[in-house]
Amino acid sequence: MWLGWRYGVVMLLAAWPACGLQVYNNFYSPRNPEREARTDTRYIILHTTEAPGSSALPKLSACGEANFGVDTDGRVYRIVDHRRTAYHCGRSMWDGRVNVDDHAIGIEVVGYHNKEVTRAQYQSLGVLLKELQFRYRIPDERVLTHSMVAYGAPNKWITRSHRGRKRCGMLFARADVRQKLQLQSKARFDPDVRAGRLINGDMYLAKVLYGNAREQEHLLAQSSPAGASVVSAQHSVWDIARDSYRRADTIYIYPDGTRRAGNQIRDWQAVPLGTKVQVADTSPAADSGSTADEVQVIGVDGATATEIAGDEAWSASTLYLLRDGRFLRGSQMPVPARDKLPAGTRMLVGYSAGGPVPTARLAQEVCGARWRQPDTFYLMPGGTLKSGREMGNGMLAKGTAVFYRN
């Protein structure tokens, strides 16, 4: 045990300026060999695990969902090599660039989005940031939080793609917190909301991220504690659970004592005021999305295309997977067909499509490094849908279509 721990200790990189930072390899991810080297590194994204290190760090390692983890005792763990792509942002955009993982180093700080981290964490995270910023020439204003870059597809509450999908890492936008990390400047506004690419889906979050120091203090004082919250006229299910609302492990306890899981609720309007919501543990492994969340089905719980995709139902980035094995973009869907889409039609919102491929070829040639991601999908000639995780060596049969997040 002792020996293993000793040998786990290595210096970050000998060529970096000597700073004395030790990086531990105890959680070095088995996913490393399969991850592409990034060709562009312009951001550092800070996350909070929303779970203790004892559960979060092994999950991050198993799934390769961060480049570094910083535990409460200040220890820095290498998870995915800093030169390779870690999957930590999920659906994300910043300044018009989508899939921020392709442009960023991800650091998971063990802690919660609305709670102070430890002194030891401030200290070692500060040193780690300095090292990485020096190495990649990343200015302070490009040290961002996951909550800044994550965005959501339209849902029952918000009919357009929106910021506010997550509050992860929110505290690292606070002026006092950045000061402790010796970050002198920060992004002053949300470039994608300003440019109209997204709308703002979480007013509270936007104020914490871009308010001045006094506003931030004031807001945090009124922030509700983590854990169970109650649906009220002021707090919708969406306000409380954000993008975890439909999950099987988000639990709703109605005032009459009835318990429902997020995936069992059909009519969201009918969730009574006074319902207690226990939001699922939004640990990192849940971040990159699962098949169940991405592929939506018309007719399930009576859902129509516009209920699922809102204003983006008929846009080119909403894909319809027809039962006969073909697919259509929303913009190609003839108007008369829109009202008659049969139950069972599968939908992907916020996606690009490649193919069907005219001859057998490698998936990488169609969608690059994303080919093996769990939220990349393959529509086989017979109509079967597979996720990137199920794709073996990535050789696509003639006629396979590829869908990947845009």
Minimum distance, C-beta of residue 210 to Zn ion, in the bound complex (Å): 18
Measured from the CB of residue 141, what is the shortest distance to Zn ion in angstroms? Answer: 19
Residues at the interface with Zn ion (CB under 5 A): 47, 146, 168
Nearer to Zn ion, 288 or 376 (CB): 288
Min CB(107)–Zn ion separation in Å: 10
Of 84 and 146, which CB lies nearer to Zn ion in the complex structure? Answer: 146
What is d(CA 158, CA 354) in angstroms, rounded to the nearest whole number?
A: 28
The pair of structure tokens assigned to 251 is 């639990």
Q: Is 348 exposed, middle or buried (0-12, 13-18, 19+ CB in 10 A)?
A: buried
Report the alpha-carbon distance of residue 224 to residue 227 in Å, rounded: 9
Q: Is 169 left (phi over 0), alpha (psi -120 to 50) or beta?
A: left
Of the pair 168, 183, the CB lying nearest Zn ion is at 168
User: Nearer Cβ to Zn ion, position 103 or 346?
Assistant: 103
How does DSSP assign 238-291, residue by residue?
HHHHGGGTT-TT-EEE-TTS-EEEGGG---GGGSPTT-EEE-----GGGTT--H
By C-beta, is 172 or 320 nearer to Zn ion? 172
Q: Measured from the CB of residue 145, what is the shortest distance to Zn ion in angstroms?
A: 8
DSSP per position, 174-188: SHHHHHHTT------
Q: How far is the CB of 68 from Zn ion (least distance, A)?
A: 13
Hey, how many other C-beta atoms are within 10 angstroms of the C-beta on 246? Answer: 21
Residues 6 or more apart whose Cβ sits within 8 Å of residue 83: 37, 38
- What is the smallest separation between the CB atom of 169 and Zn ion, expressed in angstroms? 6
- Whichever of 144 and 168 has its CB closer to Zn ion, that residue is 168
Nearest approach, Cβ of 352 to Zn ion (angstroms)?
23
Least Å distance, CB 263 to Zn ion, is 22
Rank residues 47 and 142 by Cβ distance to Zn ion and give the closer one. Answer: 47
Contacts of 321 (CB under 8 A, 6+ apart): 327, 345, 346, 347, 348, 379, 385
Of 19, 130, 35, 134, residue with least CA distance to 79: 35
**Of 161 and 282, which CB lies nearer to Zn ion in the complex structure?**
282
C-alpha span between 260 and 24 (Å, rounded): 42
Alpha helix (H) residue ranges in 331-370: 335-338, 363-367
